[in-house]
Structure 1
Amino acid sequence: MKRLISIVLICLPLFLSAQERQYTSTNAAALKLYKKARQSMDAERYDEAIGFLTSAVQTDPKFLEAQNQLADLLRLKMQYKPSVEHYLKVIAVDAEFNRAIYLNLGDEEVDIADYPNALIHLQKYLTYPGITPQKKQLAELLVANCQFSIDGMKHPVPFKPMNLGPEINGPNDEYFPVVTADESELIFTRKINGNEDFYHSTKVKGKWTPSVYLSDQINSPQYNEGAQSITQDGEYLFFTCCDRPSGLGSCDIYVAQKQGDSWGSPINLNSPINTRAWESQPSISADGNTLYFSSNRKGGYGGYDIWKSTLTDKGWSEPENLGPTINTPYDEQSPFIHPDDNTLYFSSNGWPGFGNMDIFVSRRDQDGKWQKPTNMGYPINTSADDNGLTLNATGNYAFFSSNNLKGYGGFDIYTFEMPVPLRPKVVTYVKGTVKDSKTKDPISATVEIVDLGNNRTVYNNTIEQNGRFLATLITGKNYLLNVSKHGYMFYSENFSLVGDSSKKQFQIEVPLQMIEAGNKVVLKNIFFDTNKFDIKPESKIEMQKLILFLADNPAVTIEISGHTDNMGNDALNQTLSQNRAKEVYQYLLTKGVPAARLTYKGYGKTQPIASNTTEDGRRQNRRTEFKIISN
């Protein structure tokens, strides 16, 4: 989106008598052509006016009013190089003819990446007295752009874009690509005959299948749908639609939920996210609880700002502006929050860059505050509009669209390997299917994942009958997984990624057991130090899950059991397992669970569930369980 600079079309009265104002030309034919051009401009027939002005300056090359007017019109039509040529012809004849030329000329030279000359002309413009504060601010930003660009082009970043191929791209425009965390699905916007709709493709054996129309529930023939964000598990699609009857403003943000292999009807997010202003380009956080978007609503710092809203028990919160470390007096758009929840990519024409919209990255500090954005560098950014960047979950590849790379026609979707300094934190994912342990059929359930370091829930979703779920995990942390369903025992799992900087993925099958006497659950998130039986603080979340299970099933009685591996003294192992089981038992008592519903026992090494010949097997054998005694 080009920064708007007022183009003052020179429409001075045309007096031809000797006593009236004289132009820089006395050529009658040139003046006649100039008059015709003015009449065409009054009727907004700009192409016709350009023709008359071109003839006028050919007739008299030193007709400066016509040269200036022609440059302005070419600029209006975004014909930047010829516009620059005509501005230069004006100042070659009279350097002081019109000081506004230097701002317009400098801006156009930034557009064509002629930064050294743009710097000269912009700095001259700033020497004039009486410049309005708005234009001075703009000229200073353009100067900063030039200085940044001259240095930035000397230090290019690695950039090898690859077209996603004819399965995705065609003669129409394709843009705004997003992928699920496991990169199994790509959703993008395609424009056909001026109408924007969603298409998608799935990845099979590492290749994208031919893209197909996403859904009649979401796409519509009369409205434009685009600028979308998909949750990491692919179950919710947040997107923009403009001018729908259900909308509150020009463009609103909607959400649709997946229903099996199809999509449900979109729902307008309504107030306070949507207003009578323009709300668009949503990006949903990995946990699904924070929505980032761009808006020109009141209370911002410039034209379009980036805002965020948090999902609470009462719905979406009043949007919060990300503040002046992200937003400027100009435009910030296309936010993309990476699944690491700490790295934000967005486009801006208000921070120093290569001209127009550039892509920037900002990271949170330890206090959760966004830091000053970093320009992603040349040639990722250029003098053209650069925006709409998204990344895969692992952060090593980015997706974007361009019409400058000789693709299949119009805007095409590309991918490139992200330079290491610009990457987010390392993220992996856990992907699973919940099944009935007896029938092996997929079932619906509630899946929760908690960061054990800060007790923060990073994923909480009630999955559908297909039993599938997918959630992203930041490496370097410990996570609790809990899967529950009414009438079933819950399932416990632990993912320890401390000291792990790999991108390995976890694919698991979750067998949920019916509440029946004899069934057992391993409590994988109850922790003890080696050879000790004091419950570690990070175990409290798992203990609370057990307490809630007992509260929801008041007829159930259980046995808490402790187990060890076969290493060391058998008697000590027996005592240790007994003490650990007793510690859990006593904790439950202190939280109000009746003693009549609880027993405990230590089994030492006598009931292994894996081989004791490997460290992984011994780790599995060192465990705490609960068993249904009666229900």
Structure 2
Amino acid sequence: MKNLLIFLLLLICGFANAQKHSSSPVKQAQKSYNLANQYISYQLFDKAIAELNQAVELDQNFAGAYQQLGDLYRKTGNYNSALKSYHKVLQIDPEFHSLTYYGLAESELNTGDYANAFIHFEKYLKYPGINENSRKKVEKYMNDCLFSQEAIKNPVSFKPVNIGQGINTTENEYLPVITADEGMIIFTRQTNRNEDFYKSIKKDENWSKAEFLSKEINTFNYNEGAQCISPDGNYLFFTGCNRPDGSGRCDIYISRREGNGWSKPFNIGPPVNTPGWESQPSISADGRTLYFVSTRQGGFGGYDIWKTELASNGSWTIPQNLGPEINTEFDEQSPFIHPDDESLYFSSNGWPGFGNKDLFVSRKVFIDGKQKGWKKPENLGYPINTFGEESGLSISSDGRLGFFASNQKDGYGGLDIYSFELPEKVRPASVTYVKGMVFDKDNKEYLDAKIQIVNLKSGELIFDDTADSETGQFLATMMSDKSFGLNVSKDGYLFYSQNFSPGANLEGKPFIIQVPLQKIEVGGLVVLNNIFFESNKFELLPESKSELLLLVKFLNDNPRIKIEIGGHTDNIGDEPSNQKLSESRAMSVYNFLINNNISKDKLSFKGYGESYPLADNSTEEGRKSNRRTEFKIIDK
């Protein structure tokens, strides 16, 4: 009871002291002040500011009007003007009100004056009557001040480059996303308050003049924005707001590229979209995990990052919050999952930063090959992050370049899109890609074949899609430190296989291939490039399983086909040993098929030793091609 009386006494004394300058003896100044309060109630802030400026011009000791001006300038983001107003209040009466110090400190924080902001936040906390929520917020801001002063002493390399007038104009361009081969960029352009998507194609290292993306996607009545594109450029996820088919205020939609055009957008519906607000999607490289931002219940703050998985039936699972390792009681937005599928970039004003939204990166934590959470987010550093707002970052597949929007002096007007070299410390794992074209071997027609890429060690399917029906093209990303198997298949054709070990190649170097598919005919031959044995042994290695199961499926789908499995070696060693080894390897494949319920009547096997080389045995590359397992159609 005694503490409560002391608290009330101090509070009354504070207000009594403030009361001296909260009104004006100048009638016209008081009238402008009262009129400003009316405008504020209607959120007519510009008119309120004009009246308050009139009030302080008539009465230069009107601290209440200066306080109100400072609060309005701060609310509207004009922090430099807010600073002048708060300093005027303190000049008139240093103890006018505790909130003068709060407003001053927040304005200093948002103009990068971290040392003074810390002092004035500390001063504010010494006043009685501050509730727990305000105290927590101020303590968070004070930590930001301490973090920022240290970070500025250790700047990171940051040299943004305007990506050119093919994309940037006098309008606002922002939220850039780029395909894995850096061949196409899609971004948002705002014209007359309407947001639409545009695309640009890279030609001779320069971006071509941007074009309107699609009438199927862009509308004149609604805004489209906050988009992401799959690494192959075939799927666009984006945010559409207040559309007739929407579930809530803003929903997530998807469109698929069809040749040079795009399909009509499809609302992905519940459980992802709700009557609330869902936005800012980011799709994983395999197309199976969608990250997005939502204000739905169950989160930690206003805006949280969530994820949903693509189920086997094509629907999306109930979204899961990424948890306190990513989300705070403040706001987390603009997620970008890199094609390495381990590095998540996002913006936040909750983790230690420079006062507004900063850019962060967090990495997945793996235990026994399974994800067990996220590492503590790392601020990308100064001057990538500043006292302003930074968000909307995307990263090239090789992890070298970041793309973002900024209003800088060398721009073409408004927000422009820039790229910059990402500091080594905050780069994702290096990712390369395979880009191919599938066509009929005989008539050269493009084929919409099924494309699958498997992590050979884990057996995990990392890409599962179809080649473009009009161009036969596909593109899939791969980690540079792992080995992968590619399988291309289509009904009526023999399948095609290939394997890639990017780490054994130049890191980050892409694989560009042509895939001619053969129709199923007697005599048709397929090299099983993803069948593996240890040197001079015939036991199948585990990495062979995915391709062997594909062969099982092929034989089940084509029940009339009979095949011969052939084993081949290089010419290292004596001929009898090579003959025996090739026959044993062919038999190992034969036995696997038998054990997976393929009839013996459909199968035979034969060892060919070193008799039929595909390449010169004088080089290791040639010998590698000659050590192979294949199958041949002998009846259909």
Counterpart-to-counterpart distance in 1, 2:427 and 2:436:
27
Matches within 5 A, 1:444-459: 444-459=448-463
Amino acid paired to 1:388: G
Partner of 1:359: 359
Aligned pair 1:541/2:546, yes or no?
Answer: yes
Matches within 5 A, 1:505-516: 505-516=510-521
Q: Secondary structure at the match of 1:584?
A: helix
Deviation at 1:502, TM superposition (A): 0.7
Of the three residues 471, 482, 491, the one matched with 2:487 is 482
Q: Confirm or deny: 8 A CA contact 1:243 1:249 kept in the other structure.
A: yes
In 2 relative to 1, CA 604–23 (structure 1 residues): closer, same or farther, beyond 3 Å?
Answer: closer
Counterpart-to-counterpart distance in 2, 1:364 and 1:561:
43
Deviation at 1:46, TM superposition (A): 3.0
Partner of 1:581: 586
Amino acid paired to 2:572: M
Q: Secondary structure at the match of 1:450?
A: strand
> Which 10-residue stretch deviates more, 395-404 or 59-68?
59-68
Q: Confirm or deny: 8 A CA contact 1:394 1:503 kept in the other structure.
A: yes
Matches within 5 A, 1:121-520: 121-314=120-313, 315-367=315-367, 368=371, 369-465=373-469, 466-498=471-503, 502-520=507-525
Q: Confirm or deny: 8 A CA contact 1:528 1:536 kept in the other structure.
A: yes
Partner of 2:11: none
Deviation at 1:99, TM superposition (A): 0.8
Deviation at 1:156, TM superposition (A): 1.0
> Which 10-residue stretch deviates more, 585-594 or 59-68?
59-68
Q: Deviations over 1:225-257 (max 9, x none)?
A: 111111111111000110000001111000001
Deviation at 1:100, TM superposition (A): 1.6
Counterpart-to-counterpart distance in 2, 1:51 and 1:409:
28
Amino acid paired to 2:413: G
In 2 relative to 1, CA 591–48 (structure 1 residues): closer, same or farther, beyond 3 Å?
Answer: closer
Counterpart-to-counterpart distance in 1, 2:35 and 2:232:
62
Q: Deviations over 1:456-492 (max 9, x none)?
A: 1000002232211000000111111111111111111
In 2 relative to 1, CA 312–33 (structure 1 residues): closer, same or farther, beyond 3 Å?
Answer: closer
Q: Confirm or deny: 8 A CA contact 2:110 2:388 kept in the other structure.
A: yes
Aligned pair 1:608/2:607, yes or no?
Answer: no
Counterpart-to-counterpart distance in 1, 2:46 and 2:440:
70
> Which 10-residue stretch deviates more, 557-566 or 21-30?
21-30
Q: Deviations over 1:311-334 (max 9, x none)?
A: 012310001100011001111110
Q: Secondary structure at the match of 2:25?
A: coil
Deviation at 1:92, TM superposition (A): 3.1
Counterpart-to-counterpart distance in 1, 2:62 and 2:21:
11
Deviation at 1:173, TM superposition (A): 0.6
Counterpart-to-counterpart distance in 1, 2:400 and 2:201:
20
Amino acid paired to 2:208: T
Counterpart-to-counterpart distance in 2, 1:353 and 1:393:
26
Counterpart-to-counterpart distance in 1, 2:504 and 2:510:
15
Counterpart-to-counterpart distance in 2, 1:365 and 1:85:
47
Q: Confirm or deny: 8 A CA contact 1:475 1:501 kept in the other structure.
A: no
In 2 relative to 1, CA 39–618 (structure 1 residues): closer, same or farther, beyond 3 Å?
Answer: closer
Percent sequence identity over aligned pairs:
50
Partner of 2:8: none
Q: Secondary structure at the match of 1:606?
A: coil
In 2 relative to 1, CA 43–434 (structure 1 residues): closer, same or farther, beyond 3 Å?
Answer: closer
Deviation at 1:548, TM superposition (A): 0.7
Partner of 2:60: 61
Q: Secondary structure at the match of 1:365?
A: strand
Deviation at 1:29, TM superposition (A): 4.7
Q: Secondary structure at the match of 2:629?
A: strand
Structure 1: segments with no counterpart, 5+ residues:
1-19
Amino acid paired to 1:325: E
Counterpart-to-counterpart distance in 2, 1:545 and 1:35:
79
Of the three residues 555, 569, 584, the one matched with 1:564 is 569
Q: Confirm or deny: 8 A CA contact 1:289 1:310 kept in the other structure.
A: yes
- TM-score, normalised with respect to structure 1: 0.95
Deviation at 1:28, TM superposition (A): 4.3
Counterpart-to-counterpart distance in 1, 2:423 and 2:409:
20
Q: Deviations over 1:559-590 (max 9, x none)?
A: 11110011111111111111111111122112
Amino acid paired to 1:583: S
Partner of 1:47: 46
Deviation at 1:630, TM superposition (A): 0.4
Amino acid paired to 1:26: P
Q: Secondary structure at the match of 1:48?
A: helix
Counterpart-to-counterpart distance in 1, 2:160 and 2:21:
56
Amino acid paired to 1:88: H
Q: Secondary structure at the match of 1:336?
A: strand
Q: Confirm or deny: 8 A CA contact 1:426 1:501 kept in the other structure.
A: no
Counterpart-to-counterpart distance in 1, 2:163 and 2:503:
35
Q: Deviations over 1:394-427 (max 9, x none)?
A: 1100100012344111111111111111110010
Q: Secondary structure at the match of 1:364?
A: strand
Q: Secondary structure at the match of 2:498?
A: strand
Q: Secondary structure at the match of 1:472?
A: strand
Query: What is the aligned-residue RMSD (CA, Å)?
Result: 1.5
Structure 2: segments with no counterpart, 5+ residues:
1-18
Q: Deviations over 1:580-606 (max 9, x none)?
A: 111111221121111111111110110
Partner of 1:16: none
Counterpart-to-counterpart distance in 1, 2:417 and 2:149:
28
Count of paired positions: 612
Amino acid paired to 1:61: Q
Amino acid paired to 1:196: E
> Which 10-residue stretch deviates more, 99-108 or 549-558?
99-108
Partner of 1:8: none
Q: Deviations over 1:30-60 (max 9, x none)?
A: 3344334334444544333323322332333
Amino acid paired to 1:319: P
